[in-house]
Amino acid sequence: MDDRRTETRIAVVTGAGSGIGRAVAVELLRAGWSVALAGRRAHTLEETAGLVTEGAALAVRTDVSRPRDVDGLFAAAVERFGRVDLLFNNAGTFGPGGVPVEELPYDAWRHVVDTNLNGAFLCAQAAYRQMKGQDPRGGRIINNGSVSAHTPRPHSAAYTATKHALTGLTKALSLDGRPYGIAVGQIDIGNAATDMTARMQTGALQADGSVAAEPVMDAADVARTVRHMAELPLEANVQFATVLATAMPYVGRG
């Protein structure tokens, strides 16, 4: 069995300056993890680090769509903490809201793909390189998917396409990680209360063309689920988990 459960564990959390990334980073820090916080804005990362006194936090300004930034993130984490046990691949963007596909600018499409998909790949690749070579070998990657990986919203072509692609990436990484003790899973989240979902509480476009307010849930509930996945021994893996606001229009027809 993996005895690292009793040792200090090291995590890299992308998109840690706000929303779900911040909630997960705080949850892990309070549980005694050491966490490298990655995001585009240094001041929000410092704000996340300042929310807790437990654990040890390292803020690393990172644009996950840039290979050099990602390499620098993992180098900084290893220099500070010595290894990486967990990557929470969370950084993402929805892109411009309410834009029909025929009007979506290519630059906007490309930005969503670069952040949500290419960024997740670059971070997973860097994590693989580290986890394969460290002693003891192995670690865990948890990709932040979305219920959009199963069921899209109107006017969400870029976001939905990347989240479907992320599911394929999760499966491929999980298979490739078996020989090296690298466990890979995905959490699909629906309507966690963050800045990205704020509009849902006042009115979100539905599949039938109507606009309706939708229930949301506390991002801390997502964070506890991620922590559970993260703290399993490497012999066990949650391949896919879905956490959503109970009454959101997802299951069935509304």
State residue 205 phi and psi, 5-degree precision. -65, 130
Handedness of CA 196, 66, 180, 164 (dihedral sign): positive
Catalytic one of 128, 159, 180, 250: 159
- Tell me how far apart the alpha carbons of residues 2 and 155 are, in angstroms, rounded to a whole number: 45
Cis-peptide into 136, omega within 30 deg:
yes
H helix intervals, 63-156? 67-81, 106-113, 119-133
What single-letter amino acid sits at 65? S
Residue 124, both tokens? 């997973």
Cα angle 130, 14, 129 (rounded to 5 degrees) comes to 15
Buried b / exposed e over 81-91, threshold 16 CB at 10 Å, is bebbbbbbbbb
- Tell me how far apart the alpha carbons of residues 123 and 144 are, in angstroms, rounded to a whole number: 12
State residue 15 phi and psi, 5-degree precision. 65, 35
Active site residue 159: yes
| Contacts (Cβ under 8 Å, ≥6 apart) of 213 | 200, 201, 202, 203, 204
Indicate which residues carry an active-site annotation.
159
